[in-house]
Amino acid sequence: MSAYVPVHQGPGFAARIKDALAVAMLSLMLGIPMIGLHTVDSGGALSIATRWPWLALFVGIMFGGRLAMQFALDHFKLNKARRAQKRPAVRATRPWLKWLGYAVLGFSLVLPIAFSGNRYVVDTATTVLIYVMLGWGLNVVVGLAGLLDLGYVAFYAVGAYTYGLLSTHFGWGFWQTLPVAGALAATFGIILGWPTLRLRGDYLAIVTLGFGEIIRLILVNWTDFSGGPNGIGQIPRPTFFGLPFSPDTDTPTFATFFHIEYAAEHRVIFLYYVILALALLTNLFVSRLRKLPVGIAWEAVREDEVACKALGMNVTNIKLSAFAIGAMLGGFAGVFFAARQGFISPESFVFSESATILAIVVLGGMGSQLGVVVAAILLVLLPELGRDFSEYRMLLFGAAMILIMVWRPGGLIASREPTVKLNKGAQA
Minimum distance of other proteins from residue 267's CB (angstroms):
33
Number of residues in contact with other proteins, rule: CB under 8 A? 33
412 is a site residue for other proteins (CB under 8 A)? no
Smallest separation, CB 320 to other proteins (Å): 12
Regarding 179 and contact with other proteins (CB under 8 A), the answer is no
Q: How far apart are CA 328 and CA 307, in angstroms?
A: 28
Nearer to other proteins, 240 or 285 (CB): 285
Residue 183 binding other proteins, by CB under 8 A:
no
Q: For other proteins, which stretch binds (CB under 8 A), given 77-85, 128-136, 281-289, 336-344?
A: 281-289
> Considering the rule CB under 8 A, would residue 421 count as an interface residue with other proteins?
yes
Is 82 among the residues that bind other proteins (CB under 8 A)?
no
CB of 146 vs other proteins, minimal distance in Å: 10
Q: In terms of CB distance, is 234 or 317 closer to other proteins?
A: 317
Query: By C-beta, is 322 or 380 nearer to other proteins?
Result: 322
Strands 45-50 and 37-42, by their bridges, are antiparallel
Q: Residue 190 Cβ, how far from other proteins at the closest point, in Å?
A: 14
| Site residues (CB under 8 A) for other proteins, limited to 313-342 | 313-315
Tell me how far, at minimum, the Cβ of 316 lies from other proteins, in Å: 9
Could you give phi then psi for residue 233, rounded to 5 degrees?
A: -110, 175
User: Which residues 87-146 are close enough to bind other proteins by CB under 8 A?
Assistant: 87, 89-90
Nearer to other proteins, 75 or 94 (CB): 94
Q: C-beta of 321: minimal distance to other proteins in Å?
A: 8
Residues sharing a CB contact under 8 Å with residue 194, sequence separation 6 or more, in sequence order: 320
- Between CA 402 and CA 409, with CA 405 as vertex, the angle to 5 degrees is 160
Taking residues 292 to 311 in sequence order and writing x for each that binds other proteins by CB under 8 A, - otherwise, the string is xxxxxx-xx--xx-xxxxxx
> Which of 130, 156, 154 minimizes the C-alpha distance to 376?
130
Per CB under 8 A, which of residues 138..177 are in contact with other proteins?
Answer: none
Asked if residue 420 binds other proteins (CB under 8 A), the reply is yes
Any contact of residue 289 with other proteins (CB under 8 A)? yes
Least distance (Å) between residue 25 CB and other proteins:
48
| 5 binding other proteins? (CB under 8 A) | no
CA atoms within 13 A of residue 250's CA, in its CB half-sphere: 0
Residue 22 CA to residue 240 CA, distance in Å, equals 74
Looking at the Cβ atoms of 90 and 277, the one nearer to other proteins is 90
Q: Choose among 406, 405, 133: nearest CA to 280.
A: 133
Contact 322, 346 (CB under 8 A): no
Cβ proximity to other proteins, 311 vs 403, nearer residue: 311
- Least Å distance, CB 313 to other proteins, is 5
Residues 222-251 close enough to bind other proteins by CB under 8 A: none
The least CB distance from residue 408 to other proteins, in Å, is: 16
Q: How far apart are CA 133 and CA 159, in angstroms?
A: 13
What residue ranges bind other proteins (CB under 8 A)?
A: 87, 89-90, 285, 288-289, 292-297, 299-300, 303-304, 306-315, 416, 418-423
